Chains A and B, each alone.
Chain A
Amino acid sequence: MAKKLAIIASKGTLDWAYPPFILASTAAALDYEVQIFFTFYGLTLLKKEIDAQISPLGNPAMPMPVPMPNLVQVLPGMESMATMMMKQKMKDKGVASLDELRTLCLEADVKMVACQMTVDLFDFKPEDFIEGIEFGGATTFFEFAGEADVSLFI
């Protein structure tokens, strides 16, 4: 029987968006059955257009081309600039885009579940999301995770 991987994706920034999709697509390539439960900010990764941003603010470990004090990072436009630079760097290094990885996951039958409570909380509409996903709650997650060989909270 196929191994199972259960992931909770709870973060919606560009950097945190990668691990769920990288691990899910790779596990699927290794013939795992995979389910990702998207909750809180992670839910934005199921929107039709992924608009994940990155912020160097409060992240002293982020490598920067020039040292940048927090006081400068709060200026308007810094976040979109950091996001643009990171995306360019990823492209240069042959790192897949989030959209590409998500598509690969869907093609590999990775099951994606949107947290219904978060949908209600943020007033999202079902039509905001890509097709082929399901809506459910914590119990739905445990039905799969209870049988999983690997469970990750990201």
Chain B
Amino acid sequence: MFRPIGRLGDWTARRLSRLGALARFGFGALRAGVTLTAAGRAVALRVALNQIRFTALHAVGLVLLLAGILSFLVISQAVRELGRLGVTELIGTLIVVAIVRELGPLITALAVAGRSGTAIAAELATNRVMGEVRALEAMGIDPRQYLVVPRLAAAVVSVFTLLVVFDLGAIGAGFAAARLAGMSGERYFDVVLQSLAARDVWLTVAKALAFGLIVGLVPSYFGLSVRGSPTEIPVAASRATVSAIVGIFLCAALLTAVN
């Protein structure tokens, strides 16, 4: 009778233990970032810029495609249905609340987690398996400063930048959809701007920062957690991506709930 309860307790304890380890890892990385020397900062900046090139610049096309399709589908349907009810000004609310504030950060973060989170976890796991992490420590280089901090910073910058790209793309595609459905451009931008409040902007920025931290931290943690067998690399990459996605959804729900 008590066995299922016991199993549930074990499962919960394991999850909490992993969450604690992740939190320790995160604080350790932040501390390592603060204590970087000037020379270390220059090296870390170089690594971060390289990561931003892969994570943000190479993903612009993907993010624009996702933003365009999502916005075009939602707005073209909404203009038709809301026009029938005579409340086309609600399109602005739809764009701002549904796409810019909620779906934009979520889809951008999921795209980055799927694309770069997997790559970060696999790369750091390879670093560990090939003995490169041990070699860094032996050279007097803190692996968190060289491997984790630049990727963490790059993930935050990339998610934020791609979110801006996503929102611009979504608003642009929404404009095209509205025009095709017979709405004037002037009216479209009027209703969008009227619906946009400072709170929406801050909430979007907060989500970009939180999701960026998750996308940078969770894959780094799983990547560096491998013990030394090459078979652990795909497992680490898969766990990192799934955990980052779950983390992003939980964080999105939490931020929406507290607002």
A and B form one complex: no
Interface residues of A (CB under 8 A from B): none
